[in-house]
Amino acid sequence: MTDTTAAVAAKAPAPAPKKGGKGLMIGIGVCAVVMVVGIALWMVQLSGGMVQTGMRNLDSWGFYITLFMFFVGLSAGGLIISSIPNAFGMKGFGDISRVAIWSSICCTCVAIGFVVVDLGGPLRLWELFVYSNLNSPLMWDIIVLSTYLILSIVYLWAYSREDAGKMSHVAIRVISIIALVVAVAVHTVTAWIFSLSAAHEFWHTALMGPWFVASALDCGTALVLIVVIALQKAGRIAFDRAHMVNLAKMLAVFTCVDLYFFACDLLTSGFPGGSGSDVVAMLTTGALAPFFWTQIVCMGLACVILFVPRLRTKGGVVLASALVIAGVFCKRCEILVGGFQIPNIQFADVANSFTITQWESGMSLLGYQGMVYWPTPIEFGVAAGVVALGGLLLLLGIKYLPLHLTGKEK
Amino acid sequence: MRYGMVIDLKRCSGCKTCSVVCKVANNLPNNIIWNRVLTEGGNAPDTAGGTWENPTMQHWPVACQHCENPACTKVCPVGATWKDAETGIVRQDYDKCIGCRMCLAACPYTGVRSFNWEEPAYYADFALGDADAAKHEKHTVEKCIFCTQRVAKGEQPACVADCIGRARHFGDLDDPNSEVSKLLATREWTQLHPEFGTKPSVYYLV
């Protein structure tokens, strides 16, 4: 990171942020509108009841918690990838730390947003701080997530102080090391929400924590690559090809590690031939097979693009990054729905509109054929609103925050 | 003291009276069932199991297992579900529940916990059952509480008192002279999913 420090010092005082193009304003406007619609739909969900969602007693979490996992991953991965060069005093990936931290902050806000819209009683959120049950992995996650959010904001603030010459780079390095640790912790604890409950065969594996970190690293790196290449295209950031190639290679390695963990887990579940083989069957040939194979194909294809030097063009890298993000998203769906797909007790005699999804469509006697859960339109709407909140924050940050996005030529 | 329930599967005829009286005693909203009677044969009610030549019919009344080592109370972030140290009953606090549904995900006994997915609605225009039964709330989790309101007054839970086959027994598992302890000492029994290590307080005589 010393190279960038020198560059920053040479540039100081930083030029005033450019007001941004028309595209940015349109983006901000669209995000704001979608967010407002999302909030309205959330109010509909709260007043009319969560019966309007696809979630039911036997599949008690759904699209919101899937996206919660996904965005915690994006956030943690983005922060880790931008902090590693800082923390270890390595040559950086160019001047992208500030953008990466800001996109991480936005993703954290989106993740927190998804927990809030998933709650039945958001007005009782204050209880988390008054009646905290410190045994609960969910409580750990709330603590780590809020620490992480505050730390990321401090991290970004430290950069702006450094620009003003009021903070040494050593301080930033210390913060970056703490941030790195907390980012790993935040995703591990998110994994523990699932893996510490013995009730679901698919979730109850010690590998879940490391696996989540691997997924965070690949989709986080992919997000950073997409954001940085887009900003470079818009002429707002300088980003060397060498740096892009480094990041692309790392993305490929992280993706391979993610797939490797999945393979280890599937083999360990399936080999003894007990109840674990049901999980393997569910993923490879059962109800979740479309998600599973999409993930494998996306990630495999991304690795090919990223490993073959000739394909590692800007477009290729963006495509590979998008494929990795899509793959990780599929994996999140597999984890969430897969956990509920296999019941421990057959639900004879109790199928009603509160216990299973799509009971009205005559699913009751079919039992667990097909996926146990599928979101309803209102869930897509609310989710779009939460994601738009993140988009709005991201674009506003690009417009107003000192992210070193201006005055740099390609 | 640890209250427990012993259910004699040989005496259970699958009449579902326990489901109904539970619903009445606790004034359960529509679509909420704390006490379910499952059949081994399949997902539809009263499905026979076994083979074509040799069919079987076995009913399993399943409600909260009031585990000694509950998975649900550990994960509740606000302590809205907790284990009453005095009675061993796993209880619910509707006023505290934030509706995160972590307990539904953690409980290994699929389906014993219910969430009020909408404003509680009732088939009757007036409240049924015990006057001191806790009031149900929208977007909170609930489940069998061993009729705490009755047990506090020295009465039996509704399902035990009204079981027409006298298949259900309730009492203190820590007291070797209690009816439940004696049954467990003299009869062969099993429990649901002991492999999860939750140590349920509900026993099934087989």
Q: What is the ipTM of this complex?
A: 0.91
- Is a pLDDT exceeding 50 seen at residue A410? no
Residues within 8 A of B (CB atoms), A 180-199 only: 193-194, 196-199
Return contacts of A396-400, CB within 8 angstroms, 24+ apart.
A396/A28, A397/A102, A397/A105, A397/A106, A398/A20, A398/A24, A398/A99, A398/A102, A398/A231, A398/A236, A399/A17, A399/A19, A399/A20, A399/A24, A399/A28, A400/A17
Q: Is the CB of B77 less than 8 angstroms away from the CB of A136?
A: yes
**Mean pLDDT in chain A?**
86
Pairing of strands B202-205, B3-8: parallel
- pLDDT interval class at A75 (50, 70, 90): very high
Average confidence (pLDDT) over A250-255: 94
Q: Which of A60, A115, A129, A142 to mutate to test binding with chain B, by most B CBs within 10 Å of its CB? A: A60
Question: Which run of H or E residues covers position A103?
Answer: helix A97-118
Give A5-18 pLDDT, tens digit per residue: 444 344 333 444 45
Q: Per the structure, how many domains does chain B have?
A: 1
Query: What's the confidence (pLDDT) of residue A316?
Result: 94
Residue A317's identity, in one-letter code, is V
Name the more confident of B99 and A240. B99
Distance in angstroms (rounded) separating the CA atoms of residues B20 and B192: 22
Question: Token match 């509909």: residue?
Answer: A44
Residue A381 Cα to chain centre, angstroms: 19
Give A94-148 pLDDT, tens digit per residue: 677 888 899 999 999 999 999 999 999 999 999 999 999 999 999 999 999 999 9
Distance in angstroms (rounded) separating the CA atoms of residues A133 and A221: 34
- pLDDT interval class at A357 (50, 70, 90): confident
Domain CATH for B95: 3.30.70.20
Give the structural domain span for B156: 3-205
Of the candidates A50, A118, A345, the beta carbon closest to that of B38 is on A345
Distance in angstroms (rounded) separating the CA atoms of residues A33 and A29: 6
What end-to-end distance do the CA atoms of chain A give, in Å? 19
Of the candidates B75, B78, B97, the beta carbon closest to that of A137 is on B75
Query: What's the confidence (pLDDT) of residue A1?
Result: 39
- Is a pLDDT exceeding 90 seen at residue A320? yes
Query: What's the confidence (pLDDT) of residue A16?
Result: 41
Of the candidates B100, B139, B192, the beta carbon closest to that of A138 is on B100
- Percent of chain A residues past pLDDT 90, beyond the cut: 58
Which residue ranges form the domains of chain A, and what is each CATH number?
19-342+353-358+365-400 (1.20.1630.10)
Q: Which of B43, B118, B204 to mutate to test binding with chain A, by most A CBs within 10 Å of its CB? A: B43
CB-CB contact of B17 with B36 (8 Å): no
Query: What's the confidence (pLDDT) of residue A143?
Result: 93
Query: What's the confidence (pLDDT) of residue A330?
Result: 96
Query: What's the confidence (pLDDT) of residue A366?
Result: 46
- pLDDT interval class at A342 (50, 70, 90): confident
- Percent of chain A residues past pLDDT 70, beyond the cut: 89
Distance in angstroms (rounded) separating the CA atoms of residues B82 and B93: 8
